[in-house]
Every structure is written in C-alpha cells, then in structure tokens.
Structure 1
Amino acid sequence: MQTLEATALEDGKEDRHFVTALARGLEVLSCFRTGDKALGNQEIAKRCKLPKSTVSRLTYTLTKLGYLIQLEENGKYRLGTSTLALGSYMMARLDVKQLAKPMMQELAEFAKATVSLGTRDRLAMLYVENCRSSAALTLSVDVGSRIPLLNSALGRAYLAEISVNERHELLERFREYDEQAWPGIQAAINGALDDYRALGCTRSFGDLQPHVNGIAVAFNPGGGLPIMAISCAGPAFSLSQEFLLNEVRPRLIEMARKLQASAGRT
C-alpha cells in the first residue's frame, strides 16, 4: 500500500501544471526525519516508494545542488547546507514563535506538561516549538518531529480552524487512501469539530498514544503564514482530562487569542 504522500504525488500527475520531477526531489528531502543520521538510496527509495534508479538520480542532483551531502565512509546521505538555509529562513519568519515561547513555558510549568506549537506539513503536523516543564515526567518531543494529523489534538484543532473547503479537500485524500477506515475517521473528526464549537478546543485522550492526554487550540497568525495550533499534553496519570478541560483549556484559549492579535499587529 502506498503512503498518503505517495498517493498525493500520483494524484498530482493529473494536473498539467504539476512538475513530477520536482515533487519527487522534494519528497526525497522530506523523507529525512528527526533522529536520522544518514540514509542510503535503498532506504530513501523504500520511504518514498520510488524505484532505486530514480532515487539515485535524484540524490545525485540534490548533492550537486548542496541539498544533500554524501558521506565518504558509507555513501549515505544527510541533509546539506542548502536545506538548512531554507529552513532557517522560514523559521526566522515565524515571529509568532518568539511571541509564543514565554507564554508556552509559563503554561507548561503550570500544567507540569509539554506545550507545543505546530502547523501542517502535508498530511501530518510538524512541531515548530516545544516547551517542557521542569517536572520529571513530561512528554519529550523535538522541534521538526511530525505527528499524525487525524488523531492528535494538534491536528484536529488545525482541521477545525481551516476553511470548510480546505478541510473537505484534505479529508478527501484520507478517504481515498483508506475507504474501509473512513467511517471511523469521519466520526472522530466530526466529534472533534463538535468539541471545538462547544469547548473552544480539541482533545485527544489516549487516541494518539495510550495513556497520553492532550488538548489543542488553533489560530491564524496572519502575514501569509499557515494556520497554527498549540497543544498541552502529558502522561494521563499526571494530566487528567478534568484538569485539562477545567484549568488548562481557558489558559490555552487565551494564549491563542493573544497570539493571533499580537501576530496580526506584527
């Protein structure tokens, strides 16, 4: 079975404006994950669902352009400085990160939890900032890591905040990927939208990981940036559903309101 990203790439071929070679090159760069030291052509081909011969040409080209670096000792690749320059430019534009971090850290200490800021990256949510409390037991997540969009509080908040048309288009890709699982997915997303209307936040109580609770709120940072979401999450034994909804939720909603107002002025 193809990955969702590979399915999206195949769908793009129907669009005469879609450049498949460019999409494949970007797919190669995107297959590198936090914690990967280096990847060989075989590993990249497996992750991207592409022929190894195609991947070899792509990695050669990306190396020539500085987006990949080939290691002499084993022939594998790691991300190059050109990729770093692109990422650094994007992160520098995220003024909202600087605005959010003090508030995120304050909430993390209050809840003895992990507070995260993220946005969508294709069919997942990408962490762009994380703050952990000084408590011994909190979730450990890294900036640059991705989490599933559909069953995380962060992803559900994003879906609740975007326009109806955007949400329909995005969910249609999930439906086409797995028709059998779609009724359950649709029910879960409808429940999340109901939560957002009634509570002002989405929740994931054991849905993403067993024994992990979290809630999230999304906001529009303006300035042409995509919708972002903030979550507060932690182990269920130390972060109860009641505490999240009664104590953390109003603080998280207020933080999102302040960030949207402040980012808009910036």
Structure 2
Amino acid sequence: MIYTTLTVTEDNGIGLIVMNRPTLMNALNTQMRAEITAAVRDLGQRMRVLVLTGEGRAFCSGQDLGDGASVNDLDLGRILREEYEPMLRAIYDCPVPVIAAVNGAAAGAGANLALAADVVIATQSAVFLQAFSRIGLIPDAGGTYWLPRLVGFARAMGQALFADKVTADEAVEQGLIWASIPDDKFDAEWRARAEQLASGPTLAYGAIKKALRGSLVNDLETQLDVEAQLQGEVGKSRDFLEGVMAFLEKRPAKFEGR
C-alpha cells in the first residue's frame, strides 16, 4: 500500500508507523485513519511488534476539524462508527504488542489513540489532554472506556470535565501510561523496548493481551478458565520449549515467535 499520511518501515520484526502530518500536529483525517487501520492490520500479521509515533513536535492533536465538510456538516457519530472504530479495533485486537511512543502532545482523539496501544512510552515533555469539553463534546475514540479503567472514576471524570493537561510524569503516577522518559533518552528507550519485544515469545505476548483484556469483564471462574486455555496453547509452542531449555542451560533464550 502507498501511504500518504504515514511513514511505514519494517526492521528486524519491528513495524514502525509514523503519523506524518507535522504541520497539523498529525491531526487525524479520514485518510490517516484508513491508513493507520490498514498498516496495523498488515504489519500485525507479519511483524513481531508495532510502534506508533508522530513526526515533529506532536504525537497527535486529535480530529482534524478542517477535514472535508464544514463543522456544521460533520456527522461525528458516523465518523466514529465507520472510521475510528475500525482503527481502534485494529490496534486493540492486534495479535502482537503495540507500543505508542508518544513524542509530544497527545490531545483529544490523539490521546485516546495512544491509550488503545498495549504500552504507552512518552517523552517527559509530552502532555495528555482530554480536550473535548473545550469545544462542547464528550471524550470519544475510546476515551470513556480507557480512562476510568486506567486512572479510576474520579480522575477520569476530572480529566473529562476540566480538560486539564496531564504531564507525562503525572500520567505515569496516575497509571495512565507505562513510562515517562527524559527527552534526550526517549528514542533510545522506545527502540530498546521494541527490540526486546521483537525478540521475545510472540505467541505468549498475544496470549497475555487476550488474558489481561478479558479480565476487565470476566469473573474469577471465567478468568481461571481463560488462563488454563491460553496456557495450554502456549505451553505447546516451540518458544516455551526453548525458554525451558535456555533456563536449564543457563543461557539467553532465542525465541522464534512460534
């Protein structure tokens, strides 16, 4: 596929997706949403880890309000159902780990795009902003789902109502994201984490995602059944055998992702 709003590269099992509309702070238009959906679906079948980041000073400023029709003609319900939902589901359901490397401001739908990933690593100068109420809207792009599960009801409500900026350090403290990294070390850190996952037990990572996501809605009995089923599957993988042999032989494991 030829991408016009993204830069997509592949390297040693790492699929790198860079949102590339820097003059608009990587605002999401129809084309970019379609391209992110296609890139994630494609790379998720061939790579062992995906990284989503932004070009320039921002990660993503959210919905491009200048895209297509005038504001009066925007059908936000249709856009969310037909364009955002496939993109978010592609990330959420991706069979391999997805890292959001938040290189700058993540606002509105851009913040919630990052939260759809499995792991969020942000540069220390980045901010997260549920900007929706500033223009008379509610958090969308999964925001009302992610926020209360990640930071609790009180903080989720406060972020949604007041639309205050949350710094990367605050986001870590609140449990919103995984890590805040000094700006000068940010690129090296997310690349190192991506390389770690790209050389790891890919099937186990996929099972971890299924198990943890299922735990959000399952009761204990159901979740124990899920663990038994998934552990039985990955316990038959070549990577499990390699992991055991490497442990017994006191050497680093060489996982194949199978």
TM-score, normalising length: structure 1: 0.26
